[in-house]
Amino acid sequence: MLAECVEALDAADAVENAVLVDCTLGLGGHSEALLTRYPRARLLGLDRDPEALARSRRRLAPFGERFEAVHAVYDELPDVLAERGIKRVHGVLFDLGVSSMQLDMRERGFAYAYDAPLDMRMDQTAPLTAHEVVNTYPVEDLTRILRDYGEERFARRVAQAIAARRAKAPIERTGELAELVRESIPAATRRTGGHPAKRAFQALRIEVNGELEVLGRAIPRAVDALAVGGRIAVLSYHSLEDRWVKRVLAAGAESTAPRGLPIAPPGTEPILKLLTRGAQEPTEEELEANPRAASAKFRVAERVRTGSVAARLAR
């Protein structure tokens, strides 16, 4: 949904030296399109993956000082801005989940379709790997992760199978884990819904990278960093992400005044205006070109007045 992402941040058109933030830089495709579309803007690209940063720096070098790549997780946005003396930004983009580059680099261990070491770290300098989660987490914790992060119906059954296998020898590779998950799920269930290991691999990736905890901090902080008139655009790829994004944006778009008051007291008015009706989904044409976008949900909101969404959520 490249065109939608770029047009969503058109607040940058109205401001000389507008600051945009691509919180999930990846290979720099969105950032390149934003820098091209908004020639008066500068852009900060955040990513936790050093390989992605190196590749995007090469790709976006022609934009010179208008672009800066930053090694950071997106919940660190306030610190990134403070270090550069930036008080407010005019657009923030999130393209959540694992990137195509990470999926396609077999040695990273994100994909159940390839046999590779169990890794799944977005930042390979981070200590926790999928190998450690699979081979050391208690059955109860594995069950919770598979159930909550992967929405796996047979979470306990899969967790018990993992524990039984690792008791004989450590589970070292993605191929072994994918087959173990497949064998753990009833045959009738395996006939629909894609590869049986898909949900388990998603759950492990989320745990290894702390994705939902990070997202829970990042979206409110990004909204609070926006200037009035600035916009936030978020692409999410599974219901857990989209549910949280929806909650944060809805909190900003509602009045906090008690019901029944004829006039909303100062400070209780909506902070955000929702610009998408529900979540926008990819067109059939895009799905033909990019099947990986099938589960994408796109939400956009504009900041209409000052105030803190993070403070509202903390009440």
Given the DSSP bridges, would you call strands 89-95 and 226-236 parallel, antiparallel or unpaired?
Answer: parallel
Q: Using CA atoms in the order 19, 21, 22, 25, what is the torsion angle rounded to 10 degrees?
A: 90
- Judge whether 210 is annotated as a binding position: no
Ligand-binding annotation for 74, yes or no, is: yes
Q: Is residue 71 a known part of a binding site?
A: no
**104 labelled binding-site residue:** no
108/115 Cα distance (integer angstroms): 10
CB 253 within 8 A of CB 273: yes
Distances (CA, A) of 167 to 162, 164, 243: 9, 5, 37
The verdict on whether residue 175 carries a ligand-binding annotation is: no
User: For residue 84, which of 95, 94, 104, 69 has the smallest C-alpha distance?
Assistant: 69
Phi and psi for 87 in degrees, rounded to 5?
-90, -35
115 is in an annotated binding site: no
Pair 207, 224: CB distance under 8 Å: no
Q: Is 102 part of any known ligand binding site?
A: yes
Which residues are part of a known binding site for S-adenosyl-L-methionine? 28-30, 47, 74, 95, 102
Which residues are part of a known binding site? 28-30, 47, 74, 95, 102
